[in-house]
Chain A
């Protein structure tokens, strides 16, 4: 990249300012507020608050329903990530056979990623609603009792499917780029060495894709942790019961619905720490492993 040298320091700072303001306004300020609030407890009427130290954290971490949510989030996130990665990898491998180098086509394929979570949810709702959804009605007609509004397992399955679907195109693009960066001669060498296509995939392609796969795994986990709020909110609102209440959704219910700001803040700080850890792991790993 070209280096530009500025005279003086006013202009560079001026150019950085918008980005800094936005980051400050929409990240550091709310994050700071969350940390601050996580050490406070409000009285029942929200009129006064007092400093309670780590008490909110202790309460959250010892709350059996929060732990249940955490476990559910684990299942949910891993399912979403595995499903989204698996489907994307399969599609990318199929596509790679046919569209080596077709760049415009490739960029078109990322469009589903731009669909808003609420819209994605509506799409799945139209497919799987027991009364108006095509598949929902079909399942019921086949004698399979399907109603995700009553059955917690079905609800969780549906939000997993909808959330994974939205992430597939993103993963697909990365996997496809990863696949196309594998030199063709390496695969040909493996073919001449006698490896079947399956074997070639598992012993050559997949290992060479693993840095991409790992990067995507972290991105997908973070996505499942945070960005699926819209999907869950539009489809199930965390219900029935608490069967689709993930940690991020719980932050919302406790904070916005139940107005338990101290606990909600503590929960979001815990989530923030999880992301920081995930990201740190990713950076370390990527730095070490990205070049062969």
Chain B
């Protein structure tokens, strides 16, 4: 159990820079989820923390100790890999005991700890089996068990659930969260699944192109995304963006079609270009706002997702209660309190001042 501190981690593979300075301060026992699109550097960051990859510059501090130059073996971290990386020639017991044996833990103690972890994970009956005799979910548990028995300072998870079927994934997700809470081990969890990210993390790191676009609690990220990338990445269906120009002292945005949208506050000087973000579930039926033509209705039971186009051709998605909606013209309003305003140039969030 320990804190983790990353200071301005940069990493280049040859000429290509993959991480452009990521800093992160993780409290003891905290579960941090690193989420982002494929190729944005999540695994690289995790591997740098584990010591499997060496950063080009920056510092990794675990439990107050600078481990930047240390081998993985000396960092006292445990990692769960996407494909589990179990030792194929060892039994489940052997897999879980390996790290303890190396650290010279007495035999009786190893036995006790492995049994305990196996019970905790519900794989007590499988200890004699080889990995190839296990199902995917069981392998996943063994990989977890191998991490748990070590009682490390840090758990690192690299998309550990992505090889499981949907139902098992949900189940394991809850299980991992429960275990992590119970053991109180500081954890980094990499995923590209936003639901996994929202449900698992105490805080999220949304990565974008080698930067940490935003580091905050899931709700904060949902409620106040730092830029258009984060806004579009978190939330499903994704947030709608409408281009507009500020007027009336910066409290109203005028859309290309001439529609005026009142903002929750002043968002800048008149004439500034902004992007107005609104989540599909925040659009409400009613006149005086947008008038899209709905082309596709996806009923989800208690609610429906409506896909349509605005008169200027830009797409719009709405999520409305009720299962039955006609296609064709529709009138929607934009409640000012649910609007997000971003700078059209930089994509950064503009906090409206009342």
Contacts and interface: CB of A to CB of B under 8 A. Distances in A.
B73 A208 contact: no
A183 B102 contact: no
Contact of B98 (A183, A188, A190): A190
Interface in A203-222: 203-204, 207-208
Interface of A: 183, 185-186, 188-196, 199, 203-204, 207-208, 291-292
B181 interface: no
B71 interface: yes
Contacts of B85: 183, 185-186, 188-189
A183 B88 CA distance: 10
B270 to A, nearest CB: 56
Nearest to A188: B52
B73 A191 contact: yes
Contact of B72 (A185, A191, A199): A191
Contacts of A207: 89
Contacts of B146: 189, 193
Contacts of B130: 292
Given A183-B83, A196-B73, 12 more contacts: A183-B85, A186-B85, A188-B79, A189-B79, A189-B81, A190-B87, A191-B52, A192-B52, A193-B73, A193-B78, A193-B150, A208-B88
Interface in B99-140: 99, 102-103, 130-132
Contacts of B87: 186, 189-190, 204
A203 B86 CA distance: 13
Contacts of A204: 87, 89
B197 interface: no
A292 B81 contact: no
Interface of B: 50-52, 71-73, 77-79, 81-83, 85-89, 98-99, 102-103, 130-132, 146, 150
A193 B81 CA distance: 13
B99 A193 contact: yes
B88 A192 contact: no
Contacts of B52: 188, 191-192
Nearest to B47: A188
Contact of B132 (A185, A203, A291): A291
Contacts of A203: 98
Given A185-B83, A204-B87, A292-B88, A193 B98 contact: yes
Interface centre among B71, B89, B103 (most CB of A within 10 A): B89
A185 B72 CA distance: 13
Contact of B79 (A192, A195, A291, A292): A192
Contacts of A194: 73, 99, 102-103
Given A208-B89, A292-B89, A191 B132 contact: no
B348 to A, nearest CB: 38
A3 to B, nearest CB: 28
Contacts of A208: 88-89
A236 B83 CA distance: 55
